[in-house]
Structure 1
Amino acid sequence: MSPAPDAQPAAPLPGQNWQHSTELADLEATEAYAQQLAAQLQPGDLLVLTGGLGAGKTTFTKALGKALGVEGQVSSPTFVLSRIHRNREDTSPDLVHVDTYRTDAEGLESLDLAAHLAESVVVIEWGRALVEEALLGTGGSWLDLELQTPELENPETQGDDDAETPMGVSRPSTGAEIQTDFSESEEDILGTPRLAVLRGYGPRWESDPQISFA
């Protein structure tokens, strides 16, 4: 499956080097996309993962972890904020899976993610505009992956409209009802098409890895 050239959402953050959009028809396509992206990743890489509730973020991260060869069940880390999945191979990166849905800059600092970044691939859900500079400083490199479905046109505005983070990104307030990606079932995702919008930032991702399907 080739990228969809007519679907090019505006960049949510300044400084992107490139972006491309790929249509994912179903669960299998989402998993195949994760496998191809995993082949491009190395220790020290940060992937900021955005998408509305039920957009397939956890399904994508499960497939990414499997492709990286990490141990343990990859699931939504909403209630524990982060999980570290060790790699079975000493020469391959661990996977650090983080959900910042209900935290802020102070909560992010308490996770001490910088201590794990050098030897891991770090995937952060709901982290856009919150984690990039905090973890990498200015001039850092990261990938921004947004999973869109027809029902979730603006994934960062799910939740409480009055809860604003820096950069104007709407996030749920601490009093909002807890919603997670545990509702992401195979039945929900199998027949649901989605659009994967991948963006590259910083010198590490100066060139587009050109992920596509035969």
Structure 2
Amino acid sequence: MEKISLNEIDDFAKKLAKELKGGEILALVGDLGSGKTTFTKALGKALNIKANIISPTFILMNVFPAKLPGQKGKPIYLYHLDLYRTKNFREVKALGITEVWGEKDTVTVIEWADKIKKYLPKEARFIYFKTSKERSVP
């Protein structure tokens, strides 16, 4: 398992963006404040998203037009979900997200994906985030 620091998230996101073909589901798992949204912002930047990506904690999902690195022509769409407030899979399914899972013109990023792990396609790629025990005090 590869370990990266918060300072390396941008580089990791750029590297991952170059590997994406469309249809991927990135399942993010980690405690509050562990870097899930920071990673999603970095991935969005690597996918040429100009909008400010914030965690959709209250609206549950945002969709952004994006471009895969080196891609010409039609955009793909980054679906960004935050399942922190969801209680069950039925709430997630009501968003209509399962209808686009695996579609070649999408990349789906799911924060708190462990809440629906058993419902995710087997191809979902899990990325685990962990907070460092070391804290610096200004």
Both structures adopt the same fold (TM-score exceeding 0.5): yes
Q: CA deviation at 1:71?
A: 3.9
Selected match of 2:49 from 50, 63, 70:
70
Q: Is there any run of 5+ residues in structure 2 with no aligned partner, and where?
A: none
Q: Which residue of 2 aligns with 1:144?
A: 126
Selected match of 1:47 from 26, 35, 46:
26
Selected match of 1:116 from 86, 100, 122:
100
Asked whether the 8 Å contact 2:83–2:115 carries over to 1, the reply is: no
TM-score w.r.t. the length of structure 1 is 0.54
CA RMSD for the aligned pairs? 2.3
**Secondary structure, counterpart of 1:23 in structure 2:** coil
Can you list the C-alpha shifts for 1:55-97, whole angstroms capped at 9, x where unaligned? Answer: 1111110010111123421111101100000126644421100
Partners of 1:39 and 1:106 in 2: how far apart? 33
Q: Which residue of 1 aligns with 2:84?
A: 101
User: What pairs up with 1:199-214 in 2 under 5 angstroms?
Assistant: none
Can you list the C-alpha shifts for 1:94-142, whole angstroms capped at 9, x where unaligned? Answer: 1100011111211011011133331210000001251x55353xxx311
Task: Tell me the matched-pair count.
Answer: 129
TM-score w.r.t. the length of structure 2 is 0.81
Q: Is there any run of 5+ residues in structure 1 with no aligned partner, and where?
A: 1-19, 152-187, 192-214
Asked whether the 8 Å contact 1:45–1:122 carries over to 2, the reply is: yes
Q: Which residue of 1 aligns with 2:64?
A: 85
Asked whether the 8 Å contact 2:28–2:127 carries over to 1, the reply is: yes
Tell me which amino acid in the other structure corresponds to 1:47.
L
Q: CA deviation at 1:54?
A: 1.1
Instruction: Rate the CA distance shift 1:105–1:91 in 2: closer, same or farther, 3 A.
Output: same
Asked whether the 8 Å contact 1:70–1:94 carries over to 2, the reply is: no
Report % sequence identity.
33
Tell me which amino acid in the other structure corresponds to 2:112.
W
43-52 or 89-98, which moves further after superposition? 89-98
Asked whether the 8 Å contact 1:113–1:135 carries over to 2, the reply is: no
Moved over 4 A (4+): none
Higher gyration radius (CA): 1
**Secondary structure, counterpart of 1:22 in structure 2:** coil
Tell me which amino acid in the other structure corresponds to 2:89.
A
